[in-house]
Structure 1
Amino acid sequence: MVGKKSEKALRDEGLERTDNNMELSSWPQIAPINQKNYYTYVTLLVFIQCLVDERRMMADDDNGSDYLKRDDQLLAFRLQNEEARNRMAKTAKDRDRALALGKQEQGDAEVDGDTAMEDAEEAPTETAGSKVIVLHLGSQNLRIGLASDALPKTVPMVIARKSAKNESEDGVEPRPKRIKLNEDGEEVQPEKQFGPEFASLFGTMCAELKTHMRQNKRRMLPNSKEMVINYNRRTVPEHIPEHNDPSRVEWTEISSPAPEYITGQEALRIPDDSKPRYKLSWPIQHGWCNEKDYDSARLLFLDISLILEDAIKTQLGLTSKKDWTQYSCVFVIPDLYERTYVSSVLEMLMKEFSFARVCFIQESLAATFGAGYTSACIVDIGAQKTSICCVEEGMCIENSRINLKYGGFDITETFIKMMLYDHFPYADINLRRRYDFLLAEELKKTICTMNESGVSTQVFDFHLRISGQDTRKYMFKAYDEIHLAPMGYFQPAIFSAGGDGDKLQGRRKLLPRSLDIYDGQQNDPTSAAQSEILAAIAPPLPAELAGVTTTEDEKPSQTNGTSDVQATPSRSHLSILGRVQDVEATPRSSVAGSPAPETTNTPSQQQQQQHQNGTPIPGDKTGGTAAAVSSSAGQQPLQQPPPQPRRAPTIEERDDILPVYPLDQAILTSITHAARSDDKKMRDFLGGIMVLGGGSQVQGFHAYLEERLHVLRPAFAKEIMIGTPPRDLDAQVVLDWSAGV
């Protein structure tokens, strides 16, 4: 065993322990707690914590326990208030300085100085956003307001113009379309008025609902349908005199002379038998410009400008156009917008309205900004279109954008179809009539539900109010129609069944697709998620459009116009000549090659030109002279180059596809393309789904949608959550309110 070395030996070997009196760390060293006094220390810490909690509670009581719930607690508002106080102080100092310099008489200075100070203190400061107008054009409603307003104002997006006949008398079939007489001229029963397709889908949905309710141990009466039909058959309306109707409608009175047009809510309240007649027009339909009902794009945008002008004057109180130059405009556009529409609106706002500045903001981005979410999946269900988009850190993810052409109005129409199928007592209902349209919307809001507990045989009533006639009170029964109509969001085939699938009629009639002037490709934004949905529902291309162009370096591409939906859509590699021949006759610069410089051609260039012109080439033994002689003699004309075949249109360029897809599957498709196989992003988006729009205000819709998503993605059942708009905001206006923030 080796003994301990002495200090001298350690010093000789350089291993002597030395101390430089330096601490190991600058952090203070705390001595360990004495175990004898351990519980004393714990008691002291608990007492200190209680004092801190009590002090915090007292502070919360002083603030009303509303931390970050008031606007004056936000940094932006505090900075604005501070700026306003500084501006007020600066104004007061400037006035005092002017008085000191003797710009006013001494006698008036004292009085005016006190008055100026009082005015400076009492004068209200200009609120941030009070000079910014926010506009959002929808298919059924226009949202308008100042950025400083608490909530926007809602105006129907409709205009009534003088006409010989109104919209219901203009020879157009009633809506929903019905088969009144069969081939033998006999009246068709209500069960057969909408064709076999609707009857089959309706019956299938009824059977599936019955099976699902049995699985959930829901009690059902076996003859519920028969009870509803028998009750509705024998129902007779009750007539109520107008003076006994407490909720009678105030109809729009036509002044003398009659105005050329009427907009907004007053247009919907014009009597159908008014003199002169007025015809309603809706400039925006299904999220697109209504090209079907207009003859020119100029008249279409003229109606839009008239509706906006009247709304600004009546809703915002800006009656003088001279004041509009001091205002800026924030215009909300769809996520998948059309460049032609945006450019036309920009021209209208800058030239006709003379706004100082114009800003465009996408719907999903505006919704997340106002809600305070950094990452979310926005589902906006409007009147006639539904948009889905994932937003991450203030940016819309391009490939996640989806635009579907159905909404709350499709639920209204389907609900009326189902009720007519079950012998609805008001069998002459026509959604093209103004009072019937308002009646149907009211019935949908008050009756429809997504809760299975509400599916039972119930008695409802409604009042039919027509100008110049007594009010009629109807009683009717409903069973599963109140649940199956909003189920169309998840089985959208029921929307087009029955002969009402005319949403694509007139498409591209007035507003052609925006194309690049150089290569002929479209300028409208595309999305991989939208392409996947369109490819899933696209019909095959006609034979004359199924061909594709090929070059020496390219292989034949697909003839059905589909592309890789997993990748970001890119421009086609087709030749420029092929693109130009496929593009419509729109103004664009020439894509032909530049003329050759006027210099001496090289021998190879001379030979090529002579060969193309049929002139003899020195040293050419292939018969160049014979070709020229035969051509000049007319025996064999020059062979023209073969025509360039048309390329197959891509999925985004096909106008024969109506984007209609189940809502739950569309949401998952959007999130899948946004996450891009990232499990963390997938969970974040599934846990941040926010549903907006008036079409989502069906009772129990959020819970039912969450249940459907759980079935489709059971592995993420714990993360899936459907959120509601924050701050108790109305789902219809949260998007427009947030655009002004």
Structure 2
Amino acid sequence: MVGKKSGKALLRDEGLERTDNNMDLSSWPQIAPINQKNYYTDYLKRDDQLLAFRLQNEEARNRMTKSAKDRDRALALGKQEQGEAEVDGDTVMEDAEEAPTEAAGSKVIVIHVGSQNLRIGLASDALPKTVPMVIARKSAKNESEEEGVEPRPKRLKLDEDEDEEGIEPEKQFGPEFAAEYTSMSADLKVHMRQNKRRTLPNSKEMVINYNRRTQPEHIPEHNDPERIEWTEIPSPAPEYITGQEALRIPDDSNPRYKLSWPIRHGWCNEEAYDNTRFLFLDISLILEDAIKTQLGLTSKKEWPNYSCVFVISDLYEKTYVTNILEMLMKEFSFARVCFIQEALAASFGAGFTSACIVDIGAQKTSICCVEEGMCIENSRVNLKYGGYDVTETFIRMMLYDHFPYTEINLNQRYDFLLAEELKKNICTMLETGVSVTVFDFHLRISGQDTRKYAFKAYDEQHLAALGFFNPSIFDNTAKLNGRHKLLTRSYDIYDGQPNDPTSAAQSEILSAIAPPAPEPAADDEKQTSNGTHDIQATPSRSQQHLNVLNRIQDSEATPRSSVAGSPAPEASSTPQINNGTGTPAPTTDKLSTTLLPPAPRAPSIEERDDVLPIFPLDQAILTSVEHAARSDDRKMRDFMGGIMLVGGGSQITGFHAYLEARLHTLRPTFAKEIMIGTPPRDLDPQVVVWKGASVFGKLNTTNDSWIGRLEYDRLGSRLLAYKCMWAY
């Protein structure tokens, strides 16, 4: 019988004894334990520890210290002068008084950039200066002579055996426009009869017959009291000309100049440029000339003493904002810069604390509800039409009805100015103005005699403005050309997803008008959407995933962003593709297949570049108000009673009453509350946004959104997350 072994013997004999060979357990570096004392630190957890807020506090302390010193100095000087003045028996305090202070806002430049006009001025000015947002550069041909440039309004291309004079005006714009125009005319006639308004059965024939036989009257230039002073090209010819002078350059000038509009439809005009640097260079040149000529600041050495308030749209693009901030800080060297949204600036200018702002510009219309000095994010809507679309549609309708000046082309400068004048003087939303009326206009071309035309119009003046409520009549074919060709989307630095602002109201509108997105085809090999073979998938897994994803997106108020537009992964992780087949090459490594990145889901509605936000104005306003009210009946009534129209596109006669009637029809339960307001104090609707931004620029003591030079040099555009008054 074997004796019982001790514990030490078992460890020694069985090999269970622990031995220490003084070697580390791993080659990985050993991390020391966290210091227990620092568990509850508040480092960078309070706002006053950030650089932006520290500089604000230091500035406030310095201001308070300076005011205290000035007060003590004034008291000391006052006592001293009082003792010296006792001899004369008079108290003289004139030397103790400080120099007269400058007017509030006299050192603040307010800039509002639009698609057609730039409004700029000092915050102390009563009204801004308006400058066309255009630049003319030397070129071999002007904008209307270049090859491939279609005339505006766009007309059908003729066959080789068909000349331009042989085609009938009714067929110049295609059957779709003709059917839409005829339908709108018939609906208007029915509506007028219902309202007991008299209509002549042969009104169209009267207009066409008169326009066919009318001939222009030639007036010598010296007999024209309103002749245009065209821009004379000096010698040597400058490389570029901006503003109103650029629009007055003769089309046949020597040398030729080509017009460029860097902002179109509220976006950067990426189609007309090949380089981002040239795009923002033109914007900076227009702003620079406006500051020098309109504000009188001819020396750039004075600009560092000025601050700048820049107005951006409610649904902005972060890439555009960061580039503008860099331009204002580095090229213009302003002391401080701050940004304000258009809707908030309009509420400042009108003095409203709660309102639904409808801003109708030249080429875009923005809608946003403002409450207590903040834009409601989910109520923001941006539509890509405006007053210029009304101008172009009006000219198309007049040409359809045998307009006597058949050669009109909005790409030519004098025709563009003429069309804007006709739209301003003739278009109306009042049904009482729909009658056969004779109008006349003067065509002024450089180097030619003035021609006076007479023409008749019937319902064109009303139907063109109705395009706001039936935008399919507008020409929307080229508005998405060049989209994101130069300026890519802004991506989050942490998750790589697009982080441009979105809105539930805008998403609802885009979802209603968007065509279905192309879905990846599911084949028999259970191929996933990124082109890789899913070995472990069941036959219906891919389709189930897509269905669940669609249900999630439909149920969310604001669709989530995706990484569909993010940069592609490195080549090492990209599956190999067979030459010319478009199918992935077979792989034998199961581990490499399972570790591939997940398939990117379909892009959200805001990330699709094939959807143009075109929607009836009255329905878009109701969509914005509903998302702002959030099913609150009281807020709904407040916003319905506080709709305010601003912008140049809202100046059409009778537009307010017509919009109010449309809203009454769509929401009869709120008929008593619906009210369309105008800016108070007879303020021009075109300058309300600028006026509000100027008021905002005067709030130096309560405005914490200024970005200083020291802050920008250290943190750059990251400051916008702390300085903007909204969630940037």
Fold-level similarity (TM above 0.5): yes
- Out of 555, 564, 583, the residue aligned to residue 566 of structure 2 is 583
Shift of residue 276, structure 1, vs aligned partner:
0.6
Shift of residue 185, structure 1, vs aligned partner:
2.1
In the alignment, is the contact (CA less than 8 A) between 1:561 and 1:648 conserved in 2?
Answer: no
**Range that drifts further, 542-551 or 661-670:** 542-551
Quick one: structure 1 residues 463 and 92, their matched pair in 2 at CA, closer, same or farther if it must change by over 3 Å? Answer: farther
Shift of residue 97, structure 1, vs aligned partner:
6.8
Match of 1:117 in 2: 94
The reply to whether residue 284 of structure 1 matches residue 263 of structure 2 is yes
Match of 1:738 in 2: 692
How many percent identity over aligned positions? 71
Gap regions ≥5 residues in structure 1: 1-84, 593-634
The Cα offsets for residues 86-130 of structure 1, whole Å up to 9 and x where unpaired, read as 99999976766787999xxx9xxx9xx98x939969x65311111
The reply to whether residue 569 of structure 1 matches residue 569 of structure 2 is no
- Out of 296, 307, 321, the residue aligned to residue 342 of structure 1 is 321
The reply to whether residue 148 of structure 1 matches residue 124 of structure 2 is yes
In the alignment, is the contact (CA less than 8 A) between 2:553 and 2:560 conserved in 1?
Answer: no
In the alignment, is the contact (CA less than 8 A) between 2:587 and 2:593 conserved in 1?
Answer: no
Shift of residue 449, structure 1, vs aligned partner:
0.2
Match of 1:229 in 2: 208
In the alignment, is the contact (CA less than 8 A) between 1:540 and 1:560 conserved in 2?
Answer: no
The reply to whether residue 702 of structure 1 matches residue 702 of structure 2 is no
Quick one: structure 1 residues 364 and 167, their matched pair in 2 at CA, closer, same or farther if it must change by over 3 Å? Answer: same
Q: Within 5 Å, which residues of 2 pair with 1:525-540?
A: 525-540=501-516
Secondary structure (helix, strand or coil) at the match of 2:405 reads coil
Match of 1:179 in 2: 156
Quick one: structure 1 residues 560 and 308, their matched pair in 2 at CA, closer, same or farther if it must change by over 3 Å? Answer: farther
- Out of 341, 357, 361, the residue aligned to residue 378 of structure 1 is 357
What amino acid does structure 1 have at the position aligned with 2:273?
A: Y
Quick one: structure 1 residues 676 and 232, their matched pair in 2 at CA, closer, same or farther if it must change by over 3 Å? Answer: same
Shift of residue 543, structure 1, vs aligned partner:
4.0
Match of 2:406 in 1: 427
Q: Within 5 Å, which residues of 2 pair with 1:9-408?
A: 117=94, 124-171=100-147, 172-179=149-156, 181-182=158-159, 184-185=161-162, 187-408=166-387
Q: d(CA) in 2 for partners of 1:591 and 1:370?
A: 56
Shift of residue 298, structure 1, vs aligned partner:
0.3
Shift of residue 523, structure 1, vs aligned partner:
1.3
Query: Cα RMSD (Å) of the superposition?
Result: 3.1
The reply to whether residue 478 of structure 1 matches residue 461 of structure 2 is no
Secondary structure (helix, strand or coil) at the match of 1:117 reads coil
- Out of 616, 619, 641, the residue aligned to residue 662 of structure 1 is 616
Quick one: structure 1 residues 446 and 582, their matched pair in 2 at CA, closer, same or farther if it must change by over 3 Å? Answer: closer
In the alignment, is the contact (CA less than 8 A) between 1:541 and 1:560 conserved in 2?
Answer: no
Match of 1:513 in 2: 489
Q: d(CA) in 2 for partners of 1:483 and 1:433?
A: 25
TM-score by structure 1 length? 0.75
In the alignment, is the contact (CA less than 8 A) between 2:471 and 2:614 conserved in 1?
Answer: yes
Q: Within 5 Å, which residues of 2 pair with 1:583-732?
A: 583-584=566-567, 637-639=588-590, 640-641=592-593, 644-732=598-686
What amino acid does structure 1 have at the position aligned with 2:150?
A: E
Shift of residue 179, structure 1, vs aligned partner:
2.5
Q: Within 5 Å, which residues of 2 pair with 1:459-474?
A: 459-474=438-453
Secondary structure (helix, strand or coil) at the match of 1:135 reads strand
Secondary structure (helix, strand or coil) at the match of 2:366 reads strand
In the alignment, is the contact (CA less than 8 A) between 1:561 and 1:649 conserved in 2?
Answer: no
The Cα offsets for residues 213-259 of structure 1, whole Å up to 9 and x where unpaired, read as 00000011110000000000011111100000000000111111111
Shift of residue 436, structure 1, vs aligned partner:
0.4
What amino acid does structure 1 have at the position aligned with 2:175?
A: P
The Cα offsets for residues 258-287 of structure 1, whole Å up to 9 and x where unpaired, read as 111100000000011111110000000000
Match of 1:602 in 2: none
The Cα offsets for residues 296-321 of structure 1, whole Å up to 9 and x where unpaired, read as 00000000000001111111111111
Shift of residue 646, structure 1, vs aligned partner:
3.3
Secondary structure (helix, strand or coil) at the match of 1:450 reads coil
In the alignment, is the contact (CA less than 8 A) between 1:531 and 1:565 conserved in 2?
Answer: no
What amino acid does structure 1 have at the position aligned with 2:269?
A: N
The Cα offsets for residues 365-409 of structure 1, whole Å up to 9 and x where unpaired, read as 111122111110000000000000001111111100000000000
In the alignment, is the contact (CA less than 8 A) between 2:131 and 2:290 conserved in 1?
Answer: yes
Quick one: structure 1 residues 431 and 86, their matched pair in 2 at CA, closer, same or farther if it must change by over 3 Å? Answer: farther
What amino acid does structure 1 have at the position aligned with 2:653?
A: Q
Q: d(CA) in 2 for partners of 1:279 and 1:268?
A: 10
Q: d(CA) in 2 for partners of 1:566 and 1:245?
A: 65
Secondary structure (helix, strand or coil) at the match of 2:271 reads coil
Shift of residue 204, structure 1, vs aligned partner:
0.3
Q: d(CA) in 2 for partners of 1:346 and 1:561?
A: 38
Work out which of the two has the higher radius of gyration on C-alpha atoms and give 1 or 2.
1
The Cα offsets for residues 716-735 of structure 1, whole Å up to 9 and x where unpaired, read as 00000000001110000011
Q: d(CA) in 2 for partners of 1:660 and 1:517?
A: 32
Q: d(CA) in 2 for partners of 1:435 and 1:173?
A: 17
Quick one: structure 1 residues 254 and 636, their matched pair in 2 at CA, closer, same or farther if it must change by over 3 Å? Answer: closer
Shift of residue 183, structure 1, vs aligned partner:
6.8
Aligned residues: 595
Q: d(CA) in 1 for partners of 2:247 and 2:305?
A: 32
Q: d(CA) in 1 for partners of 2:115 and 2:439?
A: 29
Shift of residue 481, structure 1, vs aligned partner:
0.1
What amino acid does structure 2 have at the position aligned with 1:280?
A: L
In the alignment, is the contact (CA less than 8 A) between 1:447 and 1:482 conserved in 2?
Answer: yes
The Cα offsets for residues 591-614 of structure 1, whole Å up to 9 and x where unpaired, read as 99xxxxxxxxxxxxxxxxxxxxxx
Q: d(CA) in 2 for partners of 1:363 and 1:735?
A: 6
Match of 1:48 in 2: none
In the alignment, is the contact (CA less than 8 A) between 1:516 and 1:523 conserved in 2?
Answer: yes
Quick one: structure 1 residues 636 and 124, their matched pair in 2 at CA, closer, same or farther if it must change by over 3 Å? Answer: closer
Shift of residue 190, structure 1, vs aligned partner:
0.2
Quick one: structure 1 residues 255 and 527, their matched pair in 2 at CA, closer, same or farther if it must change by over 3 Å? Answer: same
Secondary structure (helix, strand or coil) at the match of 1:418 reads helix
The reply to whether residue 455 of structure 1 matches residue 434 of structure 2 is yes
Shift of residue 188, structure 1, vs aligned partner:
1.4
Match of 1:59 in 2: none
Gap regions ≥5 residues in structure 2: 1-66, 523-527, 574-585, 696-728
Match of 1:614 in 2: none
Shift of residue 362, structure 1, vs aligned partner:
0.4
Shift of residue 545, structure 1, vs aligned partner:
9.1
Quick one: structure 1 residues 211 and 521, their matched pair in 2 at CA, closer, same or farther if it must change by over 3 Å? Answer: same
Quick one: structure 1 residues 457 and 357, their matched pair in 2 at CA, closer, same or farther if it must change by over 3 Å? Answer: same
Q: d(CA) in 1 for partners of 2:450 and 2:415?
A: 13
What amino acid does structure 2 have at the position aligned with 1:376?
A: A
